[in-house]
A = this chain, B = another copy of it.
Amino acid sequence: MTTVAQLVGAPPAEPPYDIVRAAYAELQVTDLDASEVFYAGLLGMVVSARTDDAVYLRGWEERLHHSLVVRRAPVAAAARLGFRVRREEHIDLLAADLAARGLRTALSDSADPGLGRVLSAWDPFGYPLEFFHHMEQHETQLQRFDLHRGAPILRFDHVNLHVPRPEEAFAFWSGLGFRCSEYISTDGDDERLTGVWLLRKPSVHDVALTAGRGPRLHHTAFWVGEPAGIVRACDQLAAAGHATAIERGPGRHGVSNAFFVYLRDPDGHRIELYSCDYYTGDPDLRPLRWSVNDVRCRSFWGTKAPDSWYDESSLVLGPDGAPVGLRDAGVDERAQRSEVLA
| Chain A residues proximal to chain B, CB less than 8 Å | 20-21, 42, 61, 63-64, 84, 86-87, 133, 137, 140, 142-147, 154-155, 201-202, 223, 225-228, 231-232, 234-240, 243-244, 246, 250, 252, 254, 257, 259, 276, 278-279, 281-284, 286, 288, 295-296, 300-303
Find the B residue at minimum CB distance from A240: B146
Partner of A246, one of B234, B276, B286, B303: B303
Partner of A147, one of B239, B257, B283, B303: B239
Please state if B20 and A144 are interface contacts (CB–CB under 8 Å). no
Partner of A202, one of B144, B201, B232, B236: B201
Please state if B239 and A146 are interface contacts (CB–CB under 8 Å). yes
Please state if A252 and B227 are interface contacts (CB–CB under 8 Å). no
- For A64, the chain B residues whose CB sits under 8 A away are 282
Query: What's the nearest-Cβ distance from chain B to residue A41, in Å?
Result: 9
A20-B281, A61-B279, A228-B228 known; A137+B286 contact, CB < 8 A: yes
Please state if A235 and B145 are interface contacts (CB–CB under 8 Å). yes
Partner of A155, one of B142, B235, B279: B279
A20-B281, A21-B281, A281-B21 known; A145+B238 contact, CB < 8 A: yes
Query: What's the nearest-Cβ distance from chain B to residue A259, in Å?
Result: 7
- For A240, the chain B residues whose CB sits under 8 A away are 146
- For A257, the chain B residues whose CB sits under 8 A away are 142-143
Query: What's the nearest-Cβ distance from chain B to residue A258, in Å?
Result: 11
Find the B residue at minimum CB distance from A244: B302
Query: What's the nearest-Cβ distance from chain B to residue A285, in Å?
Result: 8
Query: What's the nearest-Cβ distance from chain B to residue A235, in Å?
Result: 4
Chain B CB within 10 Å — which of A20, A240, A283, A286 has the most?
Answer: A283
- For A143, the chain B residues whose CB sits under 8 A away are 235, 239, 254, 257, 300
**Extra 6 A-B pairs, beta carbons < 8 Å, given A20-B281, A235-B301:** A142-B257, A143-B254, A226-B276, A231-B252, A234-B300, A238-B252
9 contacts between A and B (CB under 8 A): A87-B283, A142-B278, A143-B239, A145-B238, A201-B281, A225-B276, A226-B276, A234-B300, A250-B250
